[in-house]
Amino acid sequence: MIQTPKFVTRLFPKQIWEYSKANNAIYLTFDDGPIPQVSPWVLDQLNAHNAKATFFCIGDNVTKYPAIFNKVIAASHGIGNHTFSHYNGWKTSVKNYTKDIEKCAAVLKSHLPGFVPLFRPPYGRITPKQARILQAQGYSIVMWSVLSKDYDHNISRQQCLKNVITHIKPGSIVVFHDSLKAFKNLQYVLPKVLAHCTKMGWQCKALPVSK
């Protein structure tokens, strides 16, 4: 599903799926980085359009590439936790899942002491119990309203662009990936999405702290 159905958002009302359209903003998000082959290019594209975004980082990648992570911070983009090891919540015990998230949080906080706990579950898969524990710890669980599917090699780059352009509107949370798997589609799609937002008069912003 490219656009998250309304019945899904109503089933999980405590998770964040989109924001108000009143402020005329788009919320671009990038999962799975940072990595040197892709993330700097993404930062350059965002900078060229005076756009801000939120990066849901894998703790292991932050550990491997701290300089790239610090560039994301220096550019004033938002930061979110995407687990340390990219665990699938449906296939991971509550204990191991939360421990992995805590491990990622420790890495993020070592670079960003004031880190606000935003979390996105890898694959969008998280159990109700896992979600309740994280929310009790102060995490905002951020999902999405538009999934680009940039990681899917079975779709063309033109279809990937259509996935976004057809559904994006003020308040949308859009999922991209700063990963090698997604880079072929992302290289084509991201500049065009940013240009589209500029043409429409929409400002690309980092996710707000509260809904």
Q: Which residues are catalytic?
A: 31, 177
**Number of Cβ within a 10 Å radius of residue 82:** 28
Counts for the chain of helices (H) and strands (E), in that order: 8, 8
From the list 74, 131, 79, the residue with the least C-alpha distance to 109 is 79
State the first-to-last Cα distance of the chain, in angstroms, to the nearest integer.
Answer: 23
Q: Report, in angstroms and rounded to the nearest whole number, the Rg of the chain calculated over CA atoms.
A: 16
With tokens 């491997």, the residue in question is 64
Structure tokens at 162: 């259509």
With tokens 């996105």, the residue in question is 120
Cα–Cα distance measured from residue 84 to residue 78, given in angstroms and rounded to the nearest whole number: 18
Question: Which residues 6+ apart lie within 8 Å of 146 measured at CB?
Answer: 2, 3, 4, 163, 164, 167, 168, 172, 173, 174, 175
